[in-house]
Amino acid sequence: MSYRRTFHDKLIANFNQLRFSITEPIKVKYARFRFEDNYVESQKNPLVSICVPTFNRGPILVDRAIKSALSQTYQNIELIVVGDCCTDNTEELLAKIKDPRLKFYNLKKRERYYPQNIENHWFVGGAAPTNKAMDLASGLWIARLDDDDTWSTDHIEKLLKFAIDKNYEFVSGLYEEERFGKRKIVQGVMAMDKYYTRTTSINSSKIGGVSTWLYRSYLKGMKYNLNCWRKEWNQVWDIDLALRIYQAGVRMGFLEEVVAFVLPRPGEDSIGLDAYKLTKNEKMKKYKF
């Protein structure tokens, strides 16, 4: 059964929405004032921080995200993996990878404040470890990669060139997904699409899946919202942040090329919330706190 929002949830969600709408445009303008000079055209080989949240998925993390990130044609990277208090062999597996660009930090505990159901586990997802990964990032740019996703080998190279050439602060692109044995290329969704607004579509910037994101690191002051599950709509943690980035006036671009791949995990037939619902008992047991 889906969680029924309380008055308390609505109050917090509305307060946060108002707070973000006021403070985040100011944050962006201030960050530009302080740091935009670091992104001059002459900066052709900036450090890119790849932020990967994970929780007890050691083997698939290594086989997909780690392998994909470390095999990029663009080499000036740091790969920051943050575990959500992992208790499996994640740390042991990562210790075997002798690449100085790889850094692992494991949160000391899993702090959660939401009623446990399959939707809320999905809505909040890896928000807390990703916020920590962004805090640890030292690059001029941040790239996001989920632990079970992969990239094209030239993912960073293409997105970075696109962002620098067009003076964008945030870029994303197409990705290929697989659901129930069928693959398709997923187009970006406009920030003011009726899917998000629930009214009418307005021509606006397109936003791709989270594993296609690349953005200037001065935007990391805009954190993932740990209370996104309280909202009535657009409750997923990455959607919530992407729409706030758009609403804050960030210059956004969309690359019409496939740069990432989102495939089912071993033993599963689909991805995203579908996969969570199809393996509900297993997921509820895994993410229990």
The pair phi, psi for residue 213, each rounded to 5°, is -80, 140
Answer whether residue 1 shows pLDDT above 70: no
Encode burial over 29-50: b for 16+ CB neighbours within 10 A, e otherwise. eebbeeeeeebeeeeeebebbb
**Does some domain include residue 2?**
no
CATH of residue 19's domain is 3.90.550.10
Q: pLDDT tens, 227-251?
A: 999 999 999 999 999 999 999 999 9
Q: Is the per-residue pLDDT at 70 higher than 60?
A: yes
Rounded CA separation 24/19 (Å): 8
DSSP state of 58: H
pLDDT in tens, 142-189: 999 999 999 999 999 999 999 999 999 999 999 999 999 999 999 999
Q: What is the pLDDT of residue 44?
A: 79
Number of independent structural domains in the chain? 1
Range of the domain at 192: 7-286
Q: 63 exposed, middle or buried (CB, 10 Å; 0-12, 13-18, 19+)?
A: middle
Q: Let me know if residue 1 belongs to a domain.
A: no
Domain assignment present for 118: yes
Query: What percentage of the chain has pLDDT greater than the value 70?
Result: 99
Query: Which pLDDT score is estimated for 42?
Result: 61
User: pLDDT tens-digit profile of 127-141?
Assistant: 999 999 999 999 999
- Residue 40: predicted pLDDT: 83
In this structure, are residues 192 and 199 in contact, taking their beta carbons and an 8 Å threshold? no
Residue 221 lies in a domain: yes
